[in-house]
Structure 1
Amino acid sequence: MELLGSTLTTTYTRPKTSHFLPAISTMASSYRNTQPALGTMLTTRYTPDDWYKSNHNNYRESESSRKSAERLRKDTIRLMQDKEQLTRRTQENTSKNIAERVNDIVFWRSELSHEIDNMVTEIAALSEVKRRLERALAETEGPFQVSQECLYHREKRMSIDLVHDDVEKDLIKEVEVIRSCQERMRRHLDRAVAQLASNRGAQHELEKDMSDKVSAQRIDDRCHYLRNTSDGIGYYRGIDRLDHAVSLPDSWSKFTDDNILRSQSERAASQKLRDEIEILLNTTSNEMWNQFNNVNVAFTNRISETADTKNNLQAHLAKTMQEIFQTEMLIESLKKALREKENPLKVAQTRLEERTRRPNIELCRDNPHHRLVGEVREIEDTIQKLQQRLLEAENTLQTLVKTKVALEHDLSIKANSLFLDQEKCMSMRKSFPSLPRLVGYA
């Protein structure tokens, strides 16, 4: 095409040197020579100069349009080449970005997988410690029942032998120790249940995040390997104007990082709880064993003491009579002291009541007022303390009177006490769960 265009341009831009020029000139000459003869037949419209000018104008327009077409063609070819390169580079960059995104997903999948494995291991470890704690808690029921049975049997002691002795104190303490151990075990068991729920919640979030990452990686892998010749590609008009995104790169990575941090935090709390449970199991088993031994020693001492007491009943009876007398004197003294406080209290309260009648501005909260209020409260406090002491003294007197009556037939009572402590209680306390059972291993 370019060769043909060049030939035409060469031909028509230099008509005078063309080999067609003589023919044109011959025709023009012939036309001019015959024009007078044809004048009677045709009407002349244009001159030969007009004809030549028209041809030359056509030549110029043709050459101009061809040059414009040539420029357009070359520019269009260059534009298509540039746009093709731009499209290819953009597609390559997009593929590279998708590949980088896939690498990011693979990295976070690896982190999530590692954390999920750690969390699964931690859940299994905490579940095992929880089972041990449950077994250890179940093992405390036997000793707890024995302690309560001992207290119940010792309630059958008669008269003066119903004392709050070291055995009873240690038995009560044993019950409190076991109950305290049970409460601590239950609290830690509840914490373990809650922690397991938190661990499983964190694991669920990790697995959900992992599942989303797997789906995203599968989609991005498919997008990364899409080519211009791939099957399944098509037009989706307006898809570039839709934005379904719910996160940005920073918030996307922060979401997974937060899930991992939460899981790590839960694992740390779980590990700490497991350590606390291990310490608790060792502590509670030692506490219960120590108190079990203390109660047994107290029982042995009490049994020996009861046997010795049978030989000293008469001496204690005399001392009890003397103490009854002194306690009665103390009660009388307390009652007299209480009676002596009635009038001072009445005087102080009457003064306060009278001073409320002061008129107008004279109703002043002055020093006498403060002193009277303090006096009333001081006397009331004194009366309360004296009444408390009186109550204590009367209770003591009642106990002494019961003791006086009981000492006369206390030999049979001591026999009953010895039977309860030796035969009933100590026979139940011959066995106690071993340390491995108390820490949940058996």
Structure 2
Amino acid sequence: MREMDMETENLEEHKRVLEKAYADTKTPFVIAEECLLQREKRQGIDQVHDDVERALSKEVDCIKRCQVKMKALIQKAEVQLKMNRAAQHTCDKDAKDKGHAQHVDDKMYGLRNSSGGIGFHPGVESVDNTVTIPYTWVKYTQENIRRSQHEREMSEKLRGEIDSLLRACANEMWSHFNNVNNAFQSRVQSTQDAKAKLQSHMQRTCNEIRDMERAIELLKKAIKDKEGPMKVAQTRLDERTRRINVELCNDPVMKGLQREVHEIRESVRILKDKLRRAENALIRLLKTRAQLEHDIGIKENSLQIDSKVCMGMRKNMPMDPKTGPVYTMPVSCY
């Protein structure tokens, strides 16, 4: 009976540890699901089913499986404890009955003709209120002992199952925990690298925009600077048309002025064409800058989610053996 008491105490302790471990899986489960939920807030090109999401999904499935197995063993332990106590109660009652019978028999064994309290009990020899015979009496006790031994064996086996489950869950959850963290670190690093490249491209684009804006200003100034010479040449031509009679001669001066006007006009045309192409290039550069700003914003949002929010939450997972027995490896209740 003492062995059964000890076994019941051991099973109760195993059940307590298992219940604590089960409770400790709730925070990692909530955090893993929250990480999946937070990562749905990623934007644009970063909304991908990446290694982190796959690792998180596997972690959630792992914790669910462990919780189901733990819950099943907790319920099994509750049933086994009832069986232990029932077997213990039966043995206790049998022992108590035997103690009472022993007391009666010892007392009767000591009776003598001179003993007090003896007397006639007519017809008592005909009374048969027995419920067993020696065979069934022995069998009853043997059955109680066998049942007690069987329940102890089942209880010990169950404790072994609890130990094995705790170790298996600890190993599996640790493995997934590390896999998720490694996936996060790799993803954060690749995102940081991509952001750095975008920022470098952004810097070059901004420099090109400044250079292009300066070039446009210079082209506009060059076009503006052509206005004076054009006015002079055209004014000279206009005034020379006012000569009279034979003086209206298409002389070398006239031809030179006409050629000068054509040259200035062609130069302005070329400058305006360059200005148009420069302004179009500037528009493209501005669009590129806007797209780069958008892409950098996407990367910053992803880094905020993965590095700050998700990894920040995962730092609060119960990794300390004092706070999370399921993460203690190896796990043992002995």
Aligned-pair identity (%) = 48
Whether the 8 Å CA contact 2:11–2:159 is kept in 1: the answer is yes
Deviation at 1:408, TM superposition (A): 11
Q: For 2:308, which of 410, 423, 439 is the aligned residue?
A: 423
Query: Paired residue for 1:390?
Result: none
- Give the structure, 1 or 2, with the largest relative contact order (CA under 8 Å, sep 6 or more): 2
Does residue 228 in structure 1 map to residue 84 in structure 2? no
d(CA) in 2 for partners of 1:161, 1:293? 23
Whether the 8 Å CA contact 2:35–2:310 is kept in 1: the answer is yes
Query: Paired residue for 1:351?
Result: none
Q: Unpaired segments of 5 or more residues in structure 1?
A: 1-115, 314-405
Match for 2:102: what amino acid?
Q
Query: Paired residue for 2:67?
Result: 182
Whether the 8 Å CA contact 2:170–2:327 is kept in 1: the answer is no
Match for 2:170: what amino acid?
S
Match for 2:121: what amino acid?
Y
Q: For 2:159, which of 274, 278, 281 is the aligned residue?
A: 274
Deviation at 1:286, TM superposition (A): 1.6
d(CA) in 1 for partners of 2:159, 2:175? 24
Deviation at 1:423, TM superposition (A): 1.5
TM-score with structure 1 length normalisation? 0.50
Q: For 1:434, which of 312, 317, 320 is the aligned residue?
A: 320
d(CA) in 2 for partners of 1:241, 1:407? 110
Q: For 1:238, which of 123, 143, 148 is the aligned residue?
A: 123
Whether the 8 Å CA contact 1:126–1:274 is kept in 2: the answer is yes
Deviation at 1:162, TM superposition (A): 2.5
Deviation at 1:441, TM superposition (A): 10
For 2:130, what is the secondary structure of its paired residue? coil
Match for 2:303: what amino acid?
L
Whether the 8 Å CA contact 2:320–2:327 is kept in 1: the answer is no
Give CA-to-partner distance per residue, 1:235-277, whole Å, 9 cap, x none. 2222111211111101001001000100000000111111111
Change (3 A) 1:434 1:286: farther
Match for 1:434: what amino acid?
D
Does residue 283 in structure 1 map to residue 174 in structure 2? no
Q: Quote the RMSD (CA, aligned, Å).
A: 2.5
Whether the 8 Å CA contact 2:169–2:326 is kept in 1: the answer is no
Query: Paired residue for 2:23?
Result: 138
Query: Paired residue for 1:265?
Result: 150
Whether the 8 Å CA contact 1:153–1:420 is kept in 2: the answer is yes
d(CA) in 1 for partners of 2:88, 2:326? 27
> Map of 1:54-73 to 2, 5 A cutoff?
none
TM-score with structure 2 length normalisation? 0.65
Higher gyration radius (CA): 1
Match for 2:35: what amino acid?
C
Deviates more, 1:212-221 or 1:424-433: 424-433
Give CA-to-partner distance per residue, 1:350-386, whole Å, 9 cap, x none. xxxxxxxxxxxxxxxxxxxxxxxxxxxxxxxxxxxxx
> Map of 1:12-411 to 2, 5 A cutoff?
116-308=1-193, 410-411=295-296
Q: Unpaired segments of 5 or more residues in structure 2?
A: 199-290, 329-334
d(CA) in 1 for partners of 2:82, 2:149? 15
For 1:163, what is the secondary structure of its paired residue? coil
d(CA) in 1 for partners of 2:127, 2:49? 84
For 1:229, what is the secondary structure of its paired residue? coil
Deviation at 1:120, TM superposition (A): 0.5
Change (3 A) 1:311 1:434: closer
Deviation at 1:407, TM superposition (A): 11
Deviation at 1:291, TM superposition (A): 0.9
Deviation at 1:413, TM superposition (A): 2.6
Whether the 8 Å CA contact 1:285–1:438 is kept in 2: the answer is no
Match for 1:439: what amino acid?
P
Change (3 A) 1:280 1:288: same
d(CA) in 2 for partners of 1:301, 1:269? 47
Deviation at 1:194, TM superposition (A): 1.0
Count of aligned pairs between the two proteins: 235
Whether the 8 Å CA contact 2:21–2:324 is kept in 1: the answer is yes
d(CA) in 1 for partners of 2:326, 2:52? 29
For 2:73, what is the secondary structure of its paired residue? helix
d(CA) in 2 for partners of 1:180, 1:213? 49
